Amino acid sequence: MKKKKGFLIAIIVMVVGVFTFYQMTGFYIDPPRDKNNPGSVTWFYRRLMNVPFIFSADSIALRDGTNPTKDTRQAISQNVFSYITRFTIRTFPFNKRLYLMSTGNRDFLQELGKNTN
């Protein structure tokens, strides 16, 4: 009986942890722009922010009905970073898989002249 109770408690804690992680944090993917900016993934506290769990400058441009360009990417990234900097938990190296998830599998890195293969 104790094993079943312990297992049930572990499952409840895990479900609450996953829900909290998804609802309270998010990932911003800053795509690479040049040799000086290799791109990054920023994990941040996003509670009460109106942003998706995984997003990038290009996905914001797409959501607003604009085709991503180098200029829109830079402007959006500056605005996002000025807002989420104080909520940053950790920064990771750029991850192309997360970038593609944020843009619906559209690779604007290739289209805008940055090859990250």
Backbone torsions φ then ψ of 42, nearest 5 degrees: -105, 120
Contact 106, 40 (CB under 8 A): no
Render pLDDT for 24-34 as a digit per residue (tens, 0 to 9).
999 999 988 77
Q: Distance between CA atoms of 109 and 112, rounded to whole angstroms?
A: 5
Q: How confident is the model at residue 113 (pLDDT cuts 50, 70, 90)?
A: low
* pLDDT score, position 15: 94
Sign for the pseudo-dihedral over CA of 93, 36, 80, 82: positive
Contact 102, 55 (CB under 8 A): yes
Q: Distance between CA atoms of 36 and 65, rounded to whole angstroms?
A: 29
Domain boundaries, the chain: 25-111
